[in-house]
Amino acid sequence: MHASLCDFLSDIFHNAVESGADSIRVEVRENDSVMTYMVEDNGKGMSEEIRRRVTDPFYTDGLKHRKRKVGLGIPFLMQAVEAVSGSFSLESEEGRGTKVSYSFPLEHIDSPPKGNLVSTFLSMISFPGAYRLVIHRSLAVDGKSDAYEVDRSELEELLGSFEDVGALQLLRTYLQSQETALDEIRNQVG
């Protein structure tokens, strides 16, 4: 079950990796009233028919989870977005990749909590596989803004293997420092 906005993000990211993508871009944008997410990959993409079918909770290709008879990731996301009058977009072209974008109004009583972005980003960066991942995170509140961007390839070059506990601890500290800088802007206006 998806308990936070980070759960949806993680699910869409894993779909991108499992699509065979070697390049993935994730954007998390926050302003005074909305959290907007985008995951774009250059994986296998989907035909128009498959794109229509992935919105059906009773559809699965039977490959990702062989014993599962339903595919709930996208349908759960769409249901959650619809419940709070957010937005959802799915663009995909077979052989070229997929782009999923969605947003949630922060003040809506039924919007899920944000979740832990630091842990989510850490999990995404350290997830096994040969892919380039760029994460762009931004905050714009009350006329003030800041952003940071991390590139998995550059981090791996600097820190070494993500299987090393020391590298993961350094990465967590770095990501937390970036989120703390954004929190300072939020606190200045709040």
The yes-or-no verdict on residue 83 having pLDDT over 60 is yes
Neighbouring-strand partners of residue 41: 24, 98
Q: What are phi and psi of 2, to 5 degrees?
A: -95, 110
Q: What is the mean pLDDT of residues 130-136?
A: 97
Q: Report the C-alpha gap between 66 and 161 in whole angstroms.
A: 31
Largest CA distance in the chain: 50
Closest CA to 19 of 125, 94, 76, 89: 94
The yes-or-no verdict on residue 22 having pLDDT over 80 is yes
Confidence at residue 90, expressed as pLDDT on a 0 to 100 scale: 95
Compute the residue count for the chain: 190
| 31 contacts 22 by C-beta, under 8 angstroms | no
The yes-or-no verdict on residue 60 having pLDDT over 60 is no
Confidence at residue 71, expressed as pLDDT on a 0 to 100 scale: 43
The yes-or-no verdict on residue 13 having pLDDT over 50 is yes
Q: What is the DSSP letter of 20?
A: T
pTM, 2 dp: 0.90
Q: What is the mean pLDDT of residues 97-112?
A: 96
| 30 contacts 5 by C-beta, under 8 angstroms | no
- Condensed to tens digits (0 to 9), the pLDDT of residues 151-172 reads 999 999 999 999 999 999 999 9
Q: What is the mean pLDDT of residues 96-101?
A: 96
